[in-house]
A and B are shown apart, each in its own frame.
Chain A
Amino acid sequence: MAKQGFLKSALAGVGFLRKASAPDFPGIDDPDPERQGQALFRRGRYRMRAGEVEDAVKDFDRAIELLPDYAEAHVSRAECLDMLGRVEAAQPDYVAARRLWAATRTGAPDRSYIWRQQGRLTFEVESYELALERIKTGSYPHSAVGNALMARGRPAEALKAYERALKIKDKDPALLALKGEALSAMGRHRSAVDAFSASLKAVPRAPEVLSGRAIAYAALGRIDKANVDWRRQLAVLPEHQSAARACVALRLGAWAEALPELDRAIEKAPDDPYWRLYRLTALKRLDRPAEAVDVPPGDWPAPLFALHAGKATPETVLAAATTEGRRIEALFQLERFKDVVETAPPHMIEYAAARNALGR
């Protein structure tokens, strides 16, 4: 505010309103449901702000028809219904939004926080773009937009956003680390290592940046260097971050180190099946007996538990693995480490764990 000045900041909204009088919603007629759904969402939000609440509800209705898992549209429709006094009608939408967000599987807890963000984040992107109408000297909206784009799988656009942020906050270690993540996601691992290294030079004890560089090194085939970074990450991760510590230990193939961390992670999040699964994996790798884990048959990763219990064959497990990620998890549990290394993306825990298992 200080740099913007009171008057300038007060008048900035006028500029926005003038521009907002002729809104444009690209993709509103696009045949692609994703593009059209997001455009409808944006128009709905615009109408909400303009006081056209009933029309906004219609846009959100249509967006949800096109994209039933569109949590942001559910919550926005709920807010509209709520403000119209239709409180009862709003409730299911609030509940649906929370359920949808909670059901999204997030990235591993030892990686950058940006990989743990859920949803399409359309509202956030729109809001930060709105903030950019006023905030000319702040890097925050750029990096926040970049993070949302990363979560939506658009690293090239995210990289541009981070570079805009870096123009404002030159050599900022946190922004350099975000740039590294974007480069890594684009497959530009060598440049990613450089960005992470520059960040670590300023803040050497940054666990998530060490993780980012380790993954980039692993992708470049330098598992030795990656392991050094993961070791350092494990050394600086606080004890209370047991899930993150477990993930790093798993990547290193340090099964004995992983076990107590996994026990603590299970204690904190008993409903997360992956900690139990990785615990079984660690026990098996250590040739220790494992008690049966009672997981009802059904959704993934239940077939992997069945495999450990001897109740499923490799063929049935692989058949149940309907996505690339699941297939890699299945191959890993089947100890087909060579296949894992050849097909898995380097950021997966299974990739590094398999590399390290093969290395031994």
Chain B
Amino acid sequence: MTEAIHCTDRVALDEWHVLAAVTELPVGVPKATRLLDTDLTIERRLDDTVAVRLGETALPVRLKFGYAWTTLGSPDHELFDIPEYAEPDRRNLNAASVGLYCSAPRAVENFLDLGHFAFVHTNYLGVEPHTEIKPYKVEITAERGEIVATKCIAYQPQASLIATDGHDVEYVYRVPHPYCAILYKSNDVDPARQDVIAIFLQPSSEERVVAHMLLSVLDEVSPDAAIRAYQQLIFSQDKPILENQVPKRLPLNMRSELSARADASSSTYRRWLADHNVRYGTLPA
């Protein structure tokens, strides 16, 4: 290998990281991209396979959920699953792949957060005075050691593109990867099933990411562009918040930033990162 890998965090190196939504890659044109301070090229071929290179060296590639993933090290596990993605009536889309000036853990935390809906997503995901967040449950699952938060309830004026009125919405959150988070929310088509929205952060550097957002939703009427546009709107509202957090790296010292009970997911996530020795994008305690 003639090209250098600049990251030294073994946990980050030995993990799978997202690089691109396959359908957004031009065919036959190598594109430059950055992962863990390291310059790579990614190329989609005519047969829809994807090649990722570090200099001349081919890196391992996984195609999952419509994205190309790679690793700079040797993961001892495969990528997590999202079984809903394979359901035949799902609309599976990449909402957007957006660059922003924040660390991956800050973006994950924002994705897990309920208390900002009325202030950042006013009249969409929340509205004053319905700001109360009732206690919810957070645990680490026994089988895979993932964070799962359940019974997260928020009153939402417009919970999805096709919502017609305001109502309580129940969320489940799942963190299966240091820089990925998934939410499951009650949908407006079938109360027995859930819409799935995921954020996969590509850590270009410790303080710069590309946020790739997967939508796996039940919606029989809306065009793809409209479904994407709604998520692009929501994420664009979060952008100035994420880009104005100081410090950019997530402090793992539980006393640096003060939490309220509504921050149970975030507190668990910070402890989880510390337990897994995730140093890239964090300020260890």
Do these two chains really belong together in a complex?
Answer: no
Residues of A within 8 A of B (CB): none
- Give me the interface of B with A, judged by CB distance under 8 Å: none
